[in-house]
Structure 1
Amino acid sequence: MNSGRKITEGGVLLALYSVLLLMTIYLPIIGSILFFFLPIPFILMALKHSTAWTFGFLFIAGVLTLIFGTMFAIPLTLLMGLTGITIGYCLKREQPFIMLFVNTVLVVLGMILAVLGGTSWIFKINPIDEFFTIVDTSMVKSTEILERFGQTIPKERIEDVNNMFEMMNTLLPTLLVLVSAILVILFFLVSQPIIKRFSTMKIQWPSFRELQLPKSLLWYYLLTMVLTLVVNPEKTSFMYLALVNLMFILQILILIQGYSFVFYFAHVKKWSKIIPYLVLAGSLVLPIVQSIVRILGIIDLGFSFRQSIAKKKE
């Protein structure tokens, strides 16, 4: 591709990114949707051009962000640029989906941590502590307002809410990983049609019902459970923080394995496609259903249920 065409393509994509960025910043409702389209210009650049050219595109996008947006939008451009470049780079090298997903999640997570760290360093405030302080203040004021109108909130309810926010604070590392993973999945879903339309590449989504996590995951889960019961660390210790976050992540992974098994079983038995989705929805509402799905995940990891089902089918 000659330089003139490169410059023309780059100019068009820069204009597209600038418009998307301005609408994201200044039109909150529409912007919340357009936010997920922001990595697309960088993905297309990374797919069609060299890495050096793509990072040059990111640099110019940063300059335009300063001119047309605000200084506070620079982290957003860096996040979207590095995310898009990572997706385009991995796709161009035809990396497996799991590598594409993990690499992109690490980039998004790294940028989130960098923004939090930069905010703490520059403004001398901890955004996370500020958030929980605001929530705590709002709770106190809401309680006072209700008491003025003659209504009282049971102490048990207040304690439950406080315990919930305390647990959120403890699980913050895991929550940041989950937020990063969800953002990446949404970026993939939004960018997939555009990538297929303007390039020969596409994101190869694996079949969810064929998902098979490593069997060693079950041993990690059992070991973490035993350590939690035996060690019983104090809530303020690093050991407690590590075990709680590890247990939460492992429970989510086993739950995902259980969902995968439900979809696989429904497919093999040729049930209606709506049934596994009903199970998924029910597990989000009813804890008993979620527990059953998690048990199915443990059984699927430990006893190779799928092989026996496949043999019976034959």
Structure 2
Amino acid sequence: MKLRWTTAVWSVIYLLLLLSLLTPFSIVTAFLLVLPVAILFTALNTKSFFMHVVPVWLIALLIDPIYLLFAIYFAVPGIIMGYLYRKRKSAMQVLKYGMAVMLVEMLLLLMISTAFFQLNLSDYVDEIVKMTTAPLSEMGVEGGIGGQFLGTELDTQLIKDQTMRLVPFAMIISSFLMTVVTHALARPTLHSMGLSVPRLKPAREWMLPRSLIWYYLLIFFINIATIDSDNTFMKMIVANATPLLQICFMIQALGFFYYLAHERKWHPIVPLLTAIPIVLFPPAMIIGILDLAFPLRQAFSKNKR
């Protein structure tokens, strides 16, 4: 009985999240829309799952057909993640598949919008950049501090070009964040419903592939080789791969501090606080690079002995 009421509540939450997509709250709720589907698909059998979500889809369709499209779009990764939860796959596998499905959906959506609805991504980005920079111009900051960053049309064009280059990065990060948020909230929720879901390894055990260092070096040399080049494709690869690899090294650095805190018996808040300088001071990622390149953890273990 408790499970029945809980799943009914999640159906209502699912509907409310869908209806929020055309409101200013969508910037937050969009990251939560996969969650109800993943929970319902994990907690219910397939027939019961559709008995819960189909009424939500029908209500959404009656209000506005666009809501049904949103529902289907976010339901696919939710079903995939829920299916993997059912099969008790590892948390990392759930994250990988969930992120991959979301990324594929974004690419398909972009392709369909471009092919059938004449979406021009360049024009769309141009409008966003103009909307973002217009307030500065209206405030008359062209000759002041703001003008140093946004003084000419050339500066605006550079911002637009850089934004266009970073579209793949934005898609990957969005997919990653949606998947992580879904898993972070789904696991304790399902646990409270009496369902066991595998958890991620402790942060102190995080070890990314050492090959990331070679990828970073490759991107570094490609960047040097294409500084004066007109090869926009290679520049786009560099622009997207560099921040992605840097984020990986930041995650590795955070894992190292969690390992160090565990070995030294520090308070759990200490490694969490290190995330602040790691994020705010990007060169701190060098710790993650060193942790991958050299046996730092073994060295600290030996020193402890």
| TM bucket, shorter chain | 0.7 to 0.9
Corresponding residue for residue 36 of structure 2: 40
Corresponding residue for residue 291 of structure 2: 300
The question of 1:20 aligning with 2:16 is answered yes
The question of 1:206 aligning with 2:192 is answered no
Retained in 1: the 8 A contact 2:19–2:67? no
Instruction: Sort the Cα spacing of 1:129 and 1:241 in 2 relative to 1 into closer, same or farther, 3 A.
Output: same
State the distance in 1 between where 2:258 and 2:76 align.
34
Give the TM-score of the pair, scaled to structure 1. Answer: 0.79
Corresponding residue for residue 249 of structure 1: 244
Corresponding residue for residue 97 of structure 1: 91
Give the TM-score of the pair, scaled to structure 2. Answer: 0.81
State the distance in 1 between where 2:227 and 2:304 align.
46
Instruction: Sort the Cα spacing of 1:166 and 1:312 in 2 relative to 1 into closer, same or farther, 3 A.
Output: same
In structure 1, what residue type is equivalent to 2:180? I
In structure 2, what residue type is equivalent to 1:182? L
Instruction: Sort the Cα spacing of 1:204 and 1:294 in 2 relative to 1 into closer, same or farther, 3 A.
Output: same
1:34 deviation in Å? Answer: 8.7
The question of 1:271 aligning with 2:262 is answered no
Q: Which moved more, 1:205-214 or 1:160-169?
A: 160-169
Q: How many residues in Structure 1 have an aligned counterpart in Structure 2?
A: 300
Retained in 2: the 8 A contact 1:58–1:81? no
Corresponding residue for residue 255 of structure 2: 260
Corresponding residue for residue 109 of structure 2: 115
State the distance in 1 between where 2:79 and 2:263 align.
39
State the distance in 1 between where 2:199 and 2:129 align.
41
The question of 1:156 aligning with 2:148 is answered yes
Q: Which moved more, 1:33-42 or 1:98-107?
A: 33-42
The question of 1:129 aligning with 2:120 is answered no
1:281 deviation in Å? Answer: 1.3
1:40 deviation in Å? Answer: 2.0
Instruction: Sort the Cα spacing of 1:233 and 1:260 in 2 relative to 1 into closer, same or farther, 3 A.
Output: farther
State the distance in 2 between where 1:202 and 1:113 align.
29
1:139-218 paired onto structure 2 within 5 Å: 139-140=133-134, 142-143=136-137, 145-147=138-140, 152=144, 155-158=147-150, 163-218=158-213
What are the Cα deviations for residues 86-119 of structure 1, in whole angstroms up to 9, with x where unaligned?
1111111121121100101112222233333343
State the distance in 2 between where 1:256 and 1:81 align.
29
State the distance in 2 between where 1:278 and 1:207 align.
17
State the distance in 2 between where 1:199 and 1:152 align.
60
In structure 2, what residue type is equivalent to 1:244? A
1:260 deviation in Å? Answer: 1.2
Instruction: Sort the Cα spacing of 1:32 and 1:175 in 2 relative to 1 into closer, same or farther, 3 A.
Output: closer
State the distance in 2 between where 1:35 and 1:232 align.
36
State the distance in 2 between where 1:40 and 1:270 align.
38
Retained in 2: the 8 A contact 1:97–1:204? yes
Structure 1 residue runs without a partner (length 5+): none
Larger RCO (CA under 8 A, 6+ residues apart): 2
Counterpart among 73, 80, 87 of residue 81 in structure 2:
87
1:190 deviation in Å? Answer: 2.4
The percentage of aligned residue pairs carrying the same residue is: 22
Retained in 1: the 8 A contact 2:216–2:245? yes
What are the Cα deviations for residues 104-154 of structure 1, in whole angstroms up to 9, with x where unaligned?
1112222233333343344322356314324225524641x333x996556
After superposition, the CA RMSD in angstroms is 3.5
Q: Which moved more, 1:87-96 or 1:191-200?
A: 191-200
Q: Which moved more, 1:201-210 or 1:100-109?
A: 201-210
State the distance in 2 between where 1:133 and 1:259 align.
37
Corresponding residue for residue 66 of structure 2: 72
